[in-house]
């Protein structure tokens, strides 16, 4: 990979990291207490349909937060791999990950072949 492409990917990852941290902070703020790891249980009222809405919203916040935290972890790991000089190498087969894939998803840590193999189980 040439230096210009590396710099572009590095920039993308840093922007992505900032965006994810911002999104996670927003979820924490919306919950009212600023905690990031536990979104507050929203309260609409005590009627049965209101309780159902609370549970649904709580579930949405929680899964969104989990997704963001997972993405942030992937992005941070990719940034670390750049620093270690190990970026762009598949963590399973140790082959180079296709540049096209890295440009589309810079936090990728495995090649398409391994990704498909492992996601199928």
Q: Which residues bind Zn ion (CB under 5 A)?
A: 90, 92-93, 111, 114
Comparing CB distances to Zn ion, the nearer of 48 and 84 is: 84
- Least distance (Å) between residue 102 CB and Zn ion: 13
Cα distance between residue 80 and residue 67, in whole Å: 20
- Least distance (Å) between residue 115 CB and Zn ion: 8
Comparing CB distances to Zn ion, the nearer of 28 and 88 is: 88
Comparing CB distances to Zn ion, the nearer of 37 and 119 is: 119
Comparing CB distances to Zn ion, the nearer of 14 and 77 is: 77
The distance from CA 119 to its chain's CA centroid, rounded to whole angstroms, is: 17
- Least distance (Å) between residue 8 CB and Zn ion: 23
Cα distance between residue 80 and residue 91, in whole Å: 13
- Least distance (Å) between residue 91 CB and Zn ion: 8
Asked if 27 contacts 63 with a C-beta cutoff of 8 angstroms, the reply is no
The distance from CA 46 to its chain's CA centroid, rounded to whole angstroms, is: 35
What residues contact residue 34 under an 8 Å CB cut-off, 6+ apart? 28
């Amino acid at each position: 990979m040439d230096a210009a492409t590396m710099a572009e990917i590095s920039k993308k990852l840093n922007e992505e990291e900032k965006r994810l941290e911002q999104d996670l902070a927003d979820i924490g703020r919306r919950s009212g207490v600023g905690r990031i790891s536990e979104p507050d249980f929203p309260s609409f009222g005590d009627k049965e349909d209101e309780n159902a809405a609370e549970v649904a919203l709580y579930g949405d916040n929680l899964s969104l937060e989990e997704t963001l935290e997972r993405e942030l972890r992937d992005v941070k790991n990719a940034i670390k791999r750049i620093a270690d000089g190990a970026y762009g190498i598949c963590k399973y087969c140790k082959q180079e990950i296709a540049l096209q894939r890295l440009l589309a998803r810079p936090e990728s840590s495995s090649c398409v072949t391994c990704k498909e193999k492992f996601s199928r189980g």
